[in-house]
Amino acid sequence: MVGFTAYVMQMAVGGALIALALSVYIDGIGYTVFHLIGISGFAAYAYTLLTLSGNWSVSAALAGGILVGAIAGWLCSECLRPLRGDGLTLASFGIGVGLFELLRFIPLTGGVFGIAGVPQFGVGEPIPTLIVTVVFLIVGAVVATFWRRSLGGAIVRSIRQDEWAALSIGARVEGHQRFTGAFAGALAAAGGIYSGATTGFIEPRDFQPTNLLIPLAATILACGKTPLGVLGSLFAIVFFFQAVRFIGQDPTTAGPVSEIIVAVLVAAILVIVRVRKQVMPHGQ
């Protein structure tokens, strides 16, 4: 039981970091995006190639992978800056698929075969692995919370609500939007690297835009509240998906039926929150 629970927790932490990235982007720019999971994949491959082919140390490759994610996040947000609303979300879906296709076709990534033997944090030993897991979770949550409560976070939220007003009082709108994109990319990168290192195997299929259902669901369920709300929601969803394995005789329950339950729940929450006109995760 301990081994299974520990693994589920590791899965949750990887997803949690991506959910934090999504919440940062939504908080800062105001709209849901689908390209962050592609960025997490790029970072995971960067980490893998730096360690396996480049013989970098795990910590150096982790830093390198996060840097790749930050740069990719910045570039993607540049492409999306002229857009708003559902147009931005759709365009980000296009970018997310494009990133996924690149991962499949570039020979360097091993293509559809994926790459096995991804160096694992904690080298597979239980105690070091647990320590690394907790560290990733705490650092991700602290960084996201710090940004949210900082002056920069406040400025970005004000830009989200009224760009022209923010510009008129001297806010550096472009700079803050770029930073938001890069910061979200870095968080997503950490999530992707962590997930890859947990499984020890990565393939392009792991980073399709549609895999964003759980992080998006967690963000919506948190109703735009603190990063801790996002983390709590995500852990609840991931553990629910895996706990369903223990319910009933039909093993397929853990798959499509769970997805249906989560989708319906998220839709209901989204409608209720909007109808009650509380703090919105999507902005205007």
Segment 30 to 59, residues that bind other proteins, using CB under 8 A: 31-32
Of 10, 41, 278, whose CA–CA distance to 130 is shortest? Answer: 10
Q: Which is nearer to other proteins, 24 or 143 (CB)?
A: 24
202: Cβ contacts below 8 Å, ≥ 6 apart: 41, 44, 45, 48, 114, 115, 118, 196
Q: Which is nearer to other proteins, 27 or 203 (CB)?
A: 203
- Should residue 266 be labelled a site residue for other proteins when binding is judged by CB under 8 A? yes
Q: Which is nearer to other proteins, 134 or 174 (CB)?
A: 174
For the chain, how big is the Rg over CA atoms in Å?
Answer: 18
Please give the size of the binding site for other proteins, defined by CB under 8 A.
74
Q: Which of 41, 206, 207, 223 binds other proteins (CB under 8 A)?
A: 206
Q: Which of 67, 89, 236, 239 binds other proteins (CB under 8 A)?
A: 89
d(CA 134, CA 206): 23
Tokens of 114: 């994926």
> Residue 179 CB, nearest distance to other proteins (Å)?
15
Instruction: Assess contact for 77 and 172: CB atoms under 8 A.
Output: no
102 burial level (CB within 10 Å; 0-12, 13-18, 19+): middle
Q: Which of 54, 101, 134, 139 binds other proteins (CB under 8 A)?
A: 101
Report phi then psi at 115, rounded to 5: -130, 125
- Should residue 282 be labelled a site residue for other proteins when binding is judged by CB under 8 A? yes
- Should residue 252 be labelled a site residue for other proteins when binding is judged by CB under 8 A? yes
Instruction: Assess contact for 273 and 219: CB atoms under 8 A.
Output: no
Q: Which of 60, 84, 145, 157 binds other proteins (CB under 8 A)?
A: 84
Site mask for other proteins (CB under 8 A), range 106-125, x = bound: -----xxxx-x-------x-
